[in-house]
Amino acid sequence: MKKFSIAKSRRLRSTPYTSRIEQQGVTAYSIYNHMLLPAAFGSIEDSYNHLKKNVQVWDVAGERQVEITGKDSEKLVQLMTCRDLSKSKDGRCYYCPIVDDKGGLINDPVVLRLSHNRWWISIADSDVILFAKGLAIGNKFEVEITEPDVNIIAVQGPKSFKLMEKIFGEKITKLKFFGFSYFEFKGTKHLIAQSGWSKQGGYEIYVENTNSGLELYDYLFEIGKEFDVKPGCPNLIERIESGLLSYGNDMDNNDNPFECGFDKFVNLDSDIVFLGKENLKKIKLEGIKKKLMGVKINAKEINVSGSIDLKDENNIKIGELRSGCYSSHFGKVIGIAMIKKPFWEVSQNVKIEINNETFDGKVCDLPFI
C-alpha cells in the first residue's frame, strides 16, 4: 500500500505531545476532532500483547472537551443526553449517549460533572460543540460553551495502577472507576479520572497546564521503566475483542441508542427533558429492526475502511461489518456488525467478500472477551 504524508495545519492540529510520539516511533495517525490521534507504533498485534500485560502511555489529546458553564448548564447537558443526570454528583464521570430530535446518535461521550454549573463533555469524533451552541441559542439558555485547552494523557494497562501510585501516591489507588479528583505533580494540580478506552484498566490525565503536562509525560516514561512502559494508542484488536464501540465506525447518526445496546442509558420513564424523547419512546414501543452484534469470520486478515456487506447462504444481505481485525486469540477475523432483525440468532451463518474472495463466518454476541 502506498504511503502518504500528512499536511499539518490549523485545521488538522498537532497535540502538545506530537513531537515526542514522533521521536518514539509512531507509524500511523488517525484524525479525531480535527486533531492527530496516534493509531500505531509498529505492529498492532505486538502493541496489543504489550497492553494486556504491562502499561502504555497514550496521547489522546484528540479527545476534546466541550465545557459548559453557567446558570442553565445542567439543563443544556440534560437536554443533549437520554441518560438521567438529575442525581449526578460532582467528581464523577457518566457515559452519556447524545441524541438528536429523531433519537439518532450524535456522539457517545463521557460527561464529567465538575460542579452543578460546570461540565466537561469528553467527546468522541464529531462537532458536538456546534450542536451544543445551537441548542443553547434556540432555548435562550444562560451558558458559556467553549473548548478548553485540555490535552489528555491516558495511562493504560494492568501495571498502570503501580506506575501512577509511584508518581501520585497511594491516594490515587482509592479512586473508583469513573471517579475523578485532583492530584499534584511538582506543584501543579491535574484532574485525573480512573477511565480510558481499553478494558485493561487505567487512568486519564486531563492536562490543563501544558508545560507541566509535558514534564509529566516524560516522567511517566522515566519512572515507568521498571514496569516496561511503552508509548501506545487505542488498540483496534483490544477494542473489538472488548466490544468497545467507536462512534463514526460502529455507529453514527443513522443509528439510535437501542440499536447500539445502550438501553440502560435511555431513561424514558423519568421526568427529565431531553431531545428526541418522544421518538425514542416510539422506537422502543415498535421495537428495533437492527442491532450491533459480533461476527467471527474464517479469514486471516481484513482492512475495514468502509462498511462491508454480510450475506446469508442465499446471498441475501443480512447486515454490514463496520469494524474488523484479525485476532490471534481466536485465530480468525472478528468484527462488530449491524445485523438485521431476522438474523439475530447466534451462530447465524454469514458470507463476506474480502479482496475479491468469499469467506464464511458466524454471528455472535458482544463482547468477544
Contact 260, 266 (CB under 8 A): no
Phi/psi region, residue 152 (left: phi>0; alpha: psi -120 to 50; beta: rest), is beta
User: Residue 290 pLDDT > 80, yes or no?
Assistant: yes
User: Residue 261 pLDDT > 80, yes or no?
Assistant: yes
Is residue 6 very low, low, confident or very high in pLDDT (cuts 50, 70, 90)? Answer: confident
- Domain enclosing residue 24, as ranges: 18-63+150-240
Is residue 68 very low, low, confident or very high in pLDDT (cuts 50, 70, 90)? Answer: very high
pLDDT for the residue 220: 98
- Is 179 exposed, middle or buried (CB count within 10 Å of its CB: 0-12, 13-18, 19+)? middle
Q: Is residue 316 part of a domain?
A: yes
pLDDT for the residue 36: 95
Q: Is residue 48 part of a domain?
A: yes
Q: Is residue 331 part of a domain?
A: yes
Q: Is residue 114 part of a domain?
A: no
Q: Is residue 54 part of a domain?
A: yes
Q: Provide CB contacts within 8 A for 115, sequence distance 6+.
A: 90
**Same domain, residue pair 236 and 312:** no
pLDDT for the residue 314: 94
pLDDT for the residue 2: 65
Q: At 319, which CATH number?
A: 2.40.30.110
**Same domain, residue pair 236 and 299:** no
What's the pTM value of the predicted model, to 2 decimals? 0.95
**Same domain, residue pair 51 and 181:** yes
| Closest C-alpha among 17, 18, 14 to residue 34 | 14
Q: How far apart are CA 291 and CA 293, in angstroms?
A: 6
Q: Is residue 85 part of a domain?
A: no
pLDDT for the residue 9: 81
Q: Is residue 352 part of a domain?
A: yes
**Same domain, residue pair 50 and 174:** yes
| Closest C-alpha among 14, 27, 47 to residue 239 | 47
**Same domain, residue pair 171 and 59:** yes
User: Residue 173 pLDDT > 80, yes or no?
Assistant: yes
Contact 62, 33 (CB under 8 A): yes
| Percentage of residues of the chain with pLDDT beyond 70 | 99
Q: Tens digits of per-residue pLDDT, 28-43?
A: 999 999 999 999 999 9
Q: Tens digits of per-residue pLDDT, 347-368?
A: 899 999 998 999 999 999 999 9
Element (H, E) at 23: helix 18-23
User: Total domain count for the chain?
Assistant: 2
Q: Which of 210, 240, 270 represents a domain boundary (last residue)? A: 240
Mean pLDDT rounded to a whole number for the chain: 96
pLDDT for the residue 1: 54
Q: At 167, which CATH number?
A: 3.30.1360.120
Q: How far apart are CA 156 and CA 196, in angstroms?
A: 7
Q: 68: which strand partners? A: 119, 145
Q: How far apart are CA 334 and CA 237, in angstroms?
A: 9
